[in-house]
Structure 1
Amino acid sequence: MNVVTKACLGAAVALAGLAGPALPAASADTGAPARAAARCSIKVWGYQGYYKCGTRVKEGYVDWNRDGRVDEVFVIAQNRTIWHTWKNAGGWKEVPGNGRADDMMGPNGTGDPRRCIVVYVNKGYHYWQNCFYNGKWHKWTTSG
């Protein structure tokens, strides 16, 4: 096993696995073999991770409070799982609900008690969203 694989596997265990080769030593990378899409590195609030190269990352930087500061960051992992982190998260976490996506659309509900993240499946043909309110994430819903 090479050093990179060992590091990725350790990160996955530490994070409960950011599912598939996506985030890293405390991010979204489980150390699974690379797939067709390449992975790119991201570091936010000191938490290192990986996302699927070619996906829109800037749309995943969310200012929920509309105060000019980023509150949370979302990315699509190489294996299509959706991950997020925030200032005191302790690392990258997979968004609950077993969501899969091909690209990031961004937030919906900014400044509202319902904070939703919207992702695309099949490169923009259908979007799905999951919302956080009442202290928990809810079910993924789709546009059709």
Structure 2
Amino acid sequence: MRRRLTALLLGLAVAGGAVVATASTAQATPNGRQATTGSLASATPASTTRAAAACAITRHGYTGYYLCGTKFDDHNWGGTQPETYVIGTDNAVWHINGGTGGWKSLGGNVTDRVLAFAAINGRRNIQGIGPDGKTPWCRGWLEGQGWNSWQKCDIQSLAASRLEQGYTSCADYYSCPNPGVWCADFARWVWRNVNVHDTGVLTAAAASFIAYGKKHDTWKTTASYQPKPGDAIVFAANSTGTYAEHVGLVISANASGVTVEIGGNQSNAVTRWTSSGGAHIGDRLGSWTISGFVEPKYNIWRV
């Protein structure tokens, strides 16, 4: 019997040789478990699906359908079986590899540009643009833990999710095995987990963010620069701001400068610093003087 996935994948059915939309959402999940979709879950995933939007895709002997015109990702995690991630006609992310036994839903509500990438400590992340057409959403998988829930994966949201937490373990963003300051580890961890490009340049040193900025021409040291959410903010302890001794992340800013910063190893935890009037290069924020800002380069889009 021909594999049923040809007939029922991604909220579609085959009737008389034609692809037609159905009410089925085909909610198969990894390892037979219910996918955790969080706030990205679509209540009526097939209601806006048009038959003309369905394009066939065959991987590992199974044929399914994805939204025509959307980007999918054939990703090799280093094994012998490449894994494919697509946006189904229900706007959920679906994936397949040689061991899944067919296409499986990872849930979500993604409109374009699904992308798989490896993050720190072996986590496998998938990322796509959410229903507003601009905000990236992510879901991650880690050996022994499985899939986490969908969440916004912009720099600001991820950094804020770690507020008041200290260093966790060698598998996260703390400098291991030797104890040390971990502000740069935290900022690097956030950038890497939202798919910022070329984070291999970054190290446990705050100065590595300056090196990143110089390499990508995003190191900003002029007072006229308008900082943006997601930028790294490099600090010095001296009043002139001529060294790189601490680094944090810009969470919000206005025409007057940075209004909210979140950084690691601030009072031995991830904490927030605020400036009601806004802070620019040369100004004090928290206990430090701002030396400059570094814009991240994203692999697929800038929020």
Alignment of 1:12-27 (within 5 A): 12=8, 18-21=9-12
Contact 1:117–1:129, Cα closer than 8 Å, also in 2: yes
Q: Which runs of 5+ in 2 are unaligned?
A: 24-45, 158-303
- 1:46 is matched with which residue? 61
Unpaired runs of 5+ residues, structure 1, are 1-6, 13-17
Q: Which has the higher helix share?
A: 2
Distance 1:102 1:89, change over 3 A: same
- What residue in structure 2 maps to residue 119 of structure 1? 128
State how 1:61-100 maps to structure 2 within 5 Å. Answer: 61-65=74-78, 71-95=82-106, 98-100=107-109
Q: Residues 21 and 78 of structure 1 are in contact (CA less than 8 Å); yes or no, is this contact kept in structure 2? A: yes
Structure-2 change in CA distance of 1:10 and 1:71 (3 Å): closer
Which one has a bigger Cα radius of gyration?
2
1:32 and 2:22 correspond: yes
Shift of 1:30: 9.5
Match for 2:108: what amino acid? G
Distance (whole Å) between structure 1 residues aligned to residue 82 and residue 7 of structure 2 = 23
Kindly provide the amino acid, as one letter, of the partner of residue 89 in structure 1: T
SS at match of 2:11: coil
Letter paired with 2:139:
N
If asked which structure has higher relative contact order (CA below 8 Å, sep 6+), I would say 1
CA drift at 1:78:
1.2
Task: Give every structure 1 segment of 4 or more consecutive aligned residues whose post-TM-superposition deviation is greater than 3 Å.
Answer: 7-12
TM-score normalised by length of structure 1 = 0.69
Q: Is the 8 Å Cα contact of residues 119 and 127 (structure 1) preserved in structure 2?
A: yes
* Corresponding pairs, count: 122
Q: Which residue of 1 aligns with 2:176?
A: none
Which piece of structure 1 moves more, 31-40 or 48-57?
31-40
Structure 2 distance, partners of 1:55, 1:116, is 18
TM-score by length of 2: 0.35
Cα RMSD, aligned residues only: 3.3
Q: Quote the residue 1:137 is aligned against.
A: 147
Offset at 1:9? Answer: 8.9
